[in-house]
Homo-oligomer: A and B are copies of this chain.
């Protein structure tokens, strides 16, 4: 295992096996630029690259990761190798150390400009539970569910960085028993615990990405909270899908963890039956699950511990599917996995499922209960994965606090 002259504890979630990318600024230097998290510091990547003589580091002197994303997977691998080298070989210490800033001194920003945002629905347990709740008189899974990764486009312009407050949305709500819809603040505001995949290496229109090449377009992952107004969603979503019930805000973690950091976390999928069509089947290694562990806290109380390994569809299957009609990829495309839910109640990734549509509220440590979120509630999702040689890969956190509706 490579060690750093930074003298990090072996089990630090942001050791040399993680090295996530983000965009930061400081009070002294308010320019937004790319940073790399290492231990409890943020490396000013462009400044370090310049001093250490790495020319391609210029793509880090930008207010977003998009330029770096456009360089493609060979450049991402070379950059990661360079970072490991300069952070482990003492020869680089003098050049690099001045560009390490305490994480407490930086402000983090949205790490990339989101091009298109797609949200999938890749957990069989989540889709089944939602089907039972929203469509009690039908089969829980629709007939297409095991043939293709169901997904839809969300609003890219309302993806925000962790720490951004979320204003409770207003909209039309109508319970089946109501005679007509009413307008007002959502009464069923929910979270959705997801993993987000960040795409780079743009492709031309009309040319699908084969599944065996899909991983080359996956730059990294973020934790994602797809805030959902269940009452607005339930009334609007037939026939064209969720719209205002989702588009008011989607939060992502500030740190993008490279896919390269998750190689030790690849696991087999739980199993797919029926076997998917050819374009969703790849060579060995092309289709995989991820051994990522999440925790969801509401005002500090852990209410759920979703396991990403329970997901039915592979991220590479999602990417191959979304481009199989010739849709082009852009640097900065983001797709969410859909809510991460397992078979057990304590692994359900949203309150809709956890409280079974509000019928079985969860109790917080302060003794209060929640069917759905209240104004002032803070939701924090954390995550980690196993790394090489017993290392721990930290996924950081995505957090947000609910502000009262705009009235």
Q: A157 and B325: CB pair below 8 A? A: no
Q: Output the least CB separation between A143 and chain B (Å).
A: 8
Q: A330 and B157: CB pair below 8 A? A: yes
Q: B277 and A172: CB pair below 8 A? A: yes
Contacting residue for A238 out of B142, B147, B205, B403, CB 8 A: B142
Please tell me if A160 contacts chain B, counting CB pairs below 8 Å.
yes
Please tell me if A346 contacts chain B, counting CB pairs below 8 Å.
no
Q: A328 and B172: CB pair below 8 A? A: no
Contacting residue for A240 out of B172, B181, B241, B249, CB 8 A: B241
Q: Top 3 nearest A-B pairs by Cβ distance?
A: A241-B241, A169-B325, A167-B206
Main SS class of interface, A: loop
Q: A150 and B240: CB pair below 8 A? A: yes
Contacting residue for A328 out of B157, B170, B330, CB 8 A: B157
The interface stretch among A5-13, A228-236, A258-266, A374-382 is A228-236
Contacting residue for A147 out of B172, B207, B322, B403, CB 8 A: B172
Q: A156 and B406: CB pair below 8 A? A: no
Chain B contacts of A142 at CB under 8 A?
A: 238-239
Please tell me if A148 contacts chain B, counting CB pairs below 8 Å.
yes
Q: A241 and B244: CB pair below 8 A? A: no
Contacting residue for A144 out of B181, B208, B247, B403, CB 8 A: B181
Residue-wise interface mask of A (139-155) relative to B, using a CB-CB cutoff of 8 A (1 in contact, 0 not): 00010100110111111
Known interface pairs A150-B240, A153-B153, A248-B326; 14 further A-B residue pairs with C-beta atoms within 8 A, sorted by A's residue number:
A131-B239, A147-B180, A150-B239, A150-B243, A151-B240, A155-B327, A169-B325, A170-B208, A183-B277, A206-B248, A241-B242, A244-B322, A244-B324, A248-B325
Residue-wise interface mask of A (152-191) relative to B, using a CB-CB cutoff of 8 A (1 in contact, 0 not): 1111111010001001011110100000111100000000
Q: How many copies does the complex hold?
A: 2
Q: List 9 A-B contacts (CB under 8 A).
A: A116-B157, A142-B239, A144-B238, A157-B327, A157-B333, A158-B328, A243-B322, A247-B322, A248-B327
Chain B contacts of A170 at CB under 8 A?
A: 208, 324-326
Chain B contacts of A14 at CB under 8 A?
A: none
Chain B contacts of A249 at CB under 8 A?
A: 205, 326
Q: B152 and A172: CB pair below 8 A? A: no
Q: Output the least CB separation between A268 and chain B (Å).
A: 24
Q: B327 and A147: CB pair below 8 A? A: no
Smallest CB-CB separation from A151: which chain B residue? B243
